[in-house]
Chains A and B, each alone.
Chain A
Amino acid sequence: MARESMEWLDAIASRAKVDTNRVESVLAARHIVPTPVLPAPRRMKLLSISFGGAKQGVEDDGPYAFEWQALSEGLWGMMTDRNLRGKSSIIEVVRWLVRGRPSPNLQDDVKSWIYNACLRFDIDGLEHEVRIDCRNGANGTLCRRSSTTAEATVLASFSSDKQFELVMSDFFLHAFSMEGLATWRESNSDEKTGHAVIHGWPALSGAMFIGTNYEVVLGDLPATTGTQARLMQMYLGVPWVSTLASAWAALKLVESGNDREARRHSQGARTRQARVKEIEALLAEKRAALSAQPSDEEIQAELSVLSGRYSETKRREKAMQERLDRETLAERQASAAYLQDRRELQAHKDSMAAGSIFRSLDPTCCPRCDHEIDQARKKQEALSHSCSVCGESISSSEDADALKKGLEASVKASKAAFDKAEKNRKLAEDSLESLQTDLETIQIKSEALTMQLGSFEARKLLSNEIAILEGRLEEASFDPGTDDIADDDAVVLKAIVGETDARSKAVRDNFLEEVSTSLLHFAQRFGMHSLSKAQLRGNANLLLEKGGADTSFSKVTKGERLRLKVATVLAMIQVGERRGVGRHPGLIMIDSPAAQEVAPEDLRELLSGLKTVCEELPHLQIFVAGMTSKAMSDHIPSGRRRESANGGYLW
């Protein structure tokens, strides 16, 4: 690598605070090539222009053929005494063949009249010829001849408009050692980012044609495309220009990528935030549902308590049942005893009463033999209290009374016993009943809890869902962050742009001073005597001072703009030549405005100036199309001009 390139590399590395390897890798990755020294300029001149076909729908319709042979350096002219007589068309045909693509300035009807065309031109002593048949798309060849006598070498052939354009573009960019001018086109939509646009040969070739578009100082592309500055630097051959352009485009691309990344990131963040919120809401819902579900542990604990209470109660119930059985038995026994006592008392009472009756009835006969009882026996009984029938002692009723009292006491006692037993039985019954109620309550509660325990599946399901949601939340909350390498790229690219821009600016600003001076000189020579100051800016803006007042290119008349355009191009060529950095091929085709738009005097001064320039820079070949005028005839020899008079056509 050249010394200057090494310096450049080191400067970038120190700017970006990285090592040179990193810078080189970025340069390689972005296809940025250092251009500290420009290749030697190539000269181009037209040798012949010819085209033919048939006109239709005009007064001189029918076949025609235009030939303009033996062209060389110097000033050439095309003039008619009326507008629309074919002089601009000649320029447009040349332009078409050079660019490989017709410009929109070539009217469609005129284009349809052209069946074939041929352009011969010289690049640094080598003769080239492009020949097309354009009746059915562009068909033709591009050839090279090392000498007039040598056989033509076909460099390329083409069979379509697209191929034709590619062939010409390829050929000229290569021949002039020009890199495509990359510029950045900002996107106007938020969705898409800007993109790099390579202004290839069609754009660069604009430097050779000064058309009737007076909007811009240089070329013929609208100012908005931003090629003006680059095109100007191309004329001036400032080093580093193409490097700066590629670095700038690469930087824009990275920044836009970062931008897009950031945009995507922030959009992602928003989406993520929404998603997080969504998940959190869902999670809260599920957690609430889960906490509403009683936990198994609680249920199990409660169930266990209940189970303990149940067995305890059951045990007591069993004991109580046994007691009840005992009490019932006791009651039954007491009842039986009570009944027995009552029955005996009743029987005793009955017996006593019956006994009393029978005692009052003295026996009259023997129940066995029916013999009457005699009086002696009856007397004996009254005396001895011995039975008149059997002689046994007759019991007193005192025994019976005592017996009755005993029986009554028994009844009372057994009744008390029975009452107590009954009470005990009832108590046992009540206790048993209450225990059984308890058991039932426990049973019901246990069943209800067991049912809830059945919700275990639901809990499990909810727990799973919550776990999944938590996972999703974590995932959704994760911020992938930004890519540091991209930042590094941008830093290096910024350093490249900064360093390269500094280098090219240093050279260019120097040049621009000279160009501005030269430009003012040419403009004055072209008749703009009131112009006191001209300043060409790095962005191709042209600031002027006219009649002591500040103005600019876009504010002056079309005639003035034509002259300023030509003056600018010539000034840049002149300075370039003088400084040895000029890269213009030397071919300039100027289409002048219509008669009514430019004063004859202005045209005269322009032509006079051009003639002088041609003498100063002998390699220039300048074609001027204009209205027939004395100025044209005066400055352009008849052999160097094509003209038609009396409303005739040039072809």
Chain B
Amino acid sequence: MNARTPHRDAIRILFILNAGGVPLTDPDDATVAKIFKGEARLHAFDFWMRNPDYLASELLDAYETTSDIRYRQAAEAIFESDEPDLRRVPMIRYLFGAYERLDDALSLLRSRDLVRITGIKGKLKVHETDFILTVRGVDVCSTAVAQEPVLEWYARRSTLVAEVAGARGGGALKEKQYEQATYAQTQLGGIIPPIGPEVQRRLLQLKQAA
């Protein structure tokens, strides 16, 4: 049974754009609210959304760097709720990182005018694709959680991912994700394997060391 539906992907992307976008004001268009820069960055965010074990790994890195216990607790919570298994949506490695065409999801978002796709275009190809979140899109994010509480996870998780990603651009994030050995060793075109057990071990060590 294929549980993948464009709606689910679309809502996930919507939450990512909302969490990772920065406010945007256009004096000529009052309907725009935020802008999320870079498709690669979107892919990077989506990777962490879809692979909670890799996110947990990143959280532990953050914990080690900042000693902020919240990161570690966040990682711990991921495992406690079986997220690496339940929430995992496999991705395929392609050239510089996880990649999946998001056309279907974006179409859904675009058709409701929740997102507008724009970018800086060169003479031959697009240099950067940016995503503009409309005021309506931002509204949907908040009403959706109220209407369907099951979607709250997406709101929280996208916020966490955005926090972990910080101001890093898509290239930097992908590079970071690429560092993770298992990910790097994955053959091009192969499914990126779970790393849950290793991260859990690391978490345990860090907890004991604390």
A residues engaging B (CB < 8 A)?
Answer: 339, 342-344, 346-351, 353-358, 360-368, 370, 389, 407
Contacts and interface: CB of A to CB of B under 8 A. Distances in A.
Interface stretch (B81-89, B168-176, B198-206): B81-89
A333 B9 CA distance: 28
Given A350-B8, A354-B144, A365-B111, 20 more contacts: A339-B82, A342-B82, A343-B85, A343-B87, A346-B86, A346-B87, A350-B150, A351-B4, A353-B151, A354-B10, A356-B147, A358-B11, A358-B112, A361-B140, A363-B111, A365-B110, A366-B111, A367-B110, A389-B111, A407-B1
Contacts of A389: 111
A342 B148 CA distance: 19
Query: Chain A binding site: helix, strand, loop or mixed by DSSP?
Result: helix
Given A354-B7, A357-B140, A357-B151, A343 B111 contact: no
B138 interface: no
Nearest to A366: B111
Contacts of A370: 110
B128 interface: no
B113 interface: yes
B5 A354 contact: yes
Given A357-B7, A357-B144, A363 B112 contact: yes
Given A350-B150, A357-B151, A367-B106, A342 B8 contact: no
B87 A356 contact: no
B111 A349 contact: no
B7 A339 contact: no
A347 B3 contact: yes
Given A344-B1, A389-B111, A357 B85 contact: no
B178 to A, nearest CB: 26
A353 to B, nearest CB: 4
Given A356-B148, A364-B111, A351 B86 contact: no
B135 interface: no
Nearest to A347: B3
A358 to B, nearest CB: 5
B7 A355 contact: yes
A136 to B, nearest CB: 124
A353 B150 contact: yes
Given A346-B87, A351-B8, A354-B11, A367 B3 contact: no
B62 interface: no
B108 interface: yes
A358 B148 contact: no
Contacts of B10: 354, 358
B112 A361 contact: yes
Contact of B88 (A343, A358, A367): A343
A354 to B, nearest CB: 4
B86 A343 contact: yes
Nearest to B151: A353
Contacts of B108: 358, 367
Interface in B155-191: none
Nearest to B112: A361
19 contacts: A339-B86, A343-B3, A343-B85, A344-B1, A344-B3, A347-B4, A347-B5, A350-B11, A351-B8, A354-B151, A357-B7, A357-B11, A357-B148, A358-B7, A360-B147, A361-B112, A364-B112, A365-B111, A367-B108
A361 B86 CA distance: 28
Contacts of A343: 3, 85-88
Contacts of B73: none
A357 B88 contact: no
Considering residues B111, B143, B151, which has the most beta carbons from chain A within 10 angstroms of its beta carbon?
B111
A347 B154 CA distance: 12
Interface in B6-46: 7-8, 10-11
A244 to B, nearest CB: 122
B113 A364 contact: yes
A365 B3 contact: no
Contacts of B8: 347, 350-351, 354
Contacts of B87: 343, 346
Nearest to A362: B112
B107 interface: yes
Nearest to B107: A367
A503 B154 CA distance: 155
A78 B32 CA distance: 192
Contacts of A339: 82, 85-86
A355 to B, nearest CB: 4
A546 to B, nearest CB: 137
Contacts of A365: 110-111, 113
A46 B107 CA distance: 184
A367 B111 CA distance: 5
B207 to A, nearest CB: 25
A353 B112 contact: no
A343 B86 CA distance: 5
B150 A349 contact: yes
A14 to B, nearest CB: 122
Nearest to A344: B3
Pick the 8 closest A-B CB pairs, nearest first: A347-B3, A367-B107, A353-B148, A354-B7, A354-B11, A351-B5, A367-B111, A361-B112
Nearest to B83: A346
A422 to B, nearest CB: 15
